[in-house]
Amino acid sequence: MVKPQRAVTNPMPPKRANSPPKPDHLRVAVRVAGWSQWQVQVIRGVQAYAHQQPRWRLYVDGTPSAGSIFGRDLRWDGIITREQDMNALWRKLMRAGRTKIVSLTSAPVKGKPLPTVRVGDHKTAQIAGRHLIAGGFRRLAYVGPLGWGRNDFRGQAIVAFANAEGVPCDIFPGGAEVGDVDPWNFDSRISMNRLTRWIARLPKPVGIFTWNMTTARVAAETSKRARCLIPEQVGIVAGDDEPTEAEHYERTLTGIVLPAERLGFEAAKLLDDLMSGGAAPKEPMLVEPSGVTHVRQSSDVSMLPDRQVHPAVQFIREHASQPLSVPRVARAMRMSRSNLDLQFTRVLGHTPRQEIALAHIERAKQLLLETNWPIERIAPRAGFGSWRQFYRTFVQREGLTPAVYRARYHIG
């Protein structure tokens, strides 16, 4: 009897020993070159997005040079960096491992640009310019980085703002990075002397907008050398805010609060899209600042001891969470309403009523960004009589609703 033969199936070919398994995670690095408060906030923004991505393994490099983790023979799926141009290291990584890279700086491009997420410079300049004009400065000036010229979009933005407002704006030719007060290595004596002479020649009073907080310190030091009083003759506003640096100088420096966490979050989001096969955007993605300004001595004319407006402004700010009226402020200051109106217009260029509205709006912005309270709860705690009044006033002054403002600028 012949036994039936068992059917024979072709076995699966064995896996090649050198075939790497498909990675179950993505290696993502953040290159910040330091641990300032701004850079830490950027990292937090990246982390906020990374926590939503189970496959991400996040690494942070805060060393002065990009050699600690990038110099090793490692495969990087994505990198977020402050560098803007396609330098040799980034080119090498992109060729070797198909690494995707996103930049988050407003520095000018030296070579082929990287996909970029950066702050909207026009909005930053508008915030600074409006603050200076409200402080009584009817002439503006700008001090930016050395040698940037037409690539300095922040400088272009303040000129455009000044033209729209009908006020003159002077630009320091050459920038202000100087070795004795700035970490970048440029000749200190020539730059300091040039800037000192330039500030001394400017018609006073003048409001100076600077590229960043470090450049603001340069402007403050050279104003002092030029024997100009701050802020009586020279008001200074930095294009970013680094509290430790701002409050270290003998005259604390006003700064525009930039959305560092939002920058990090949006950079991580763009990187995730690129790693998933998305196309790189042709133009930089802009993140608009929220409009919050940390007002300090360098531009706060209300802090001057000979100005009667100072105690009134201080009263308004301290009571911004309560309903306020001009008569109430006048009574608290023991001044007539007409005299209060006159002094406010002379010193600040706007009325007490406008200052009250500004204080209420700033308080509302703070609550929108720092809490998850509904609008109905925020309105009375920002000094508004009703949420409808709050909504109407906010839209009139900011050009967007409170909900849109929170969605755009709130991280959490």
Question: Over the stretch 75-102, which tens digit does the pLDDT of each residue have?
Answer: 788 999 887 655 666 667 766 667 898 9
Q: Is residue 311 part of a domain?
A: yes
Percentage with pLDDT > 70 across the chain: 79
Q: Is the pLDDT of residue 398 over 70?
A: yes
Q: Is residue 12 part of a domain?
A: no
Q: Is residue 32 part of a domain?
A: yes
Average pLDDT over residues 188-194: 66
Q: Which of 32-46, 67-81, 154-168 has the lowest mean pLDDT?
A: 67-81
Q: Which of 94-98, 137-141, 227-231, 257-261 has the lowest mean pLDDT?
A: 94-98
In whole angstroms, what is the distance from residue 272 CA to residue 276 CA? 6
Q: What residues make up the domain containing 100?
A: 26-118+261-287
Q: What per-residue confidence (pLDDT) applies to 23?
A: 60
Give per-residue pLDDT as tens, 110-136.
Answer: 667 788 999 999 999 999 998 888 777
219 or 17: which leads in pLDDT: 219
One domain, residues 53 and 178: no
Q: Is residue 223 part of a domain?
A: yes
Residues 386 and 379 sit within 8 Å (Cβ to Cβ): yes
**From residue 405, how far is each of 235, 259, 280, 387, 401 by CA, in Å?**
29, 13, 27, 15, 6
- Kindly report whether the peptide bond that precedes residue 64 is cis, defined as omega within 30 degrees of 0: no
What sign results for the dihedral spanned by CA atoms 350, 353, 359, 361?
A: negative
Q: Is residue 297 part of a domain?
A: no
Q: Is residue 16 part of a domain?
A: no
Average pLDDT over residues 270-279: 93
Q: What per-residue confidence (pLDDT) applies to 7?
A: 42
Local confidence band at 332 (pLDDT 50, 70, 90 cut-offs): confident
One domain, residues 90 and 186: no
Average pLDDT over residues 27-33: 86
Q: Is the pLDDT of residue 384 over 70?
A: yes
Helix (H, G, I), strand (E, B) or coil at 380: helix
Average pLDDT over residues 17-35: 72
Q: Is residue 112 part of a domain?
A: yes
pTM over 0.85? The answer is no
Structural domains of the chain, count? 3
One domain, residues 243 and 269: no
CATH of the domain at 318: 1.10.10.60
Q: Is residue 394 part of a domain?
A: yes
In whole angstroms, what is the distance from residue 21 CA to residue 15 CA? 10
Helix (H, G, I), strand (E, B) or coil at 117: strand
Local confidence band at 406 (pLDDT 50, 70, 90 cut-offs): confident
Q: Is the pLDDT of residue 280 over 60?
A: yes
Helix (H, G, I), strand (E, B) or coil at 235: strand
One domain, residues 240 and 148: yes
One domain, residues 152 and 251: yes
Single-letter amino acid, residue 36: S
In whole angstroms, what is the distance from residue 186 CA to residue 176 CA? 9
> Which residue, 17, 239, 6, 269, is CA-closest to 132?
239
One domain, residues 270 and 219: no
Single-letter amino acid, residue 13: P
Local confidence band at 178 (pLDDT 50, 70, 90 cut-offs): very low
Non-local CB neighbours of 226 within 8 Å, separated by 6+ positions: 196, 197, 199, 200
Residue 81 has phi, psi (to 5 degrees) of -140, 160
Residue 369 has phi, psi (to 5 degrees) of -85, -30
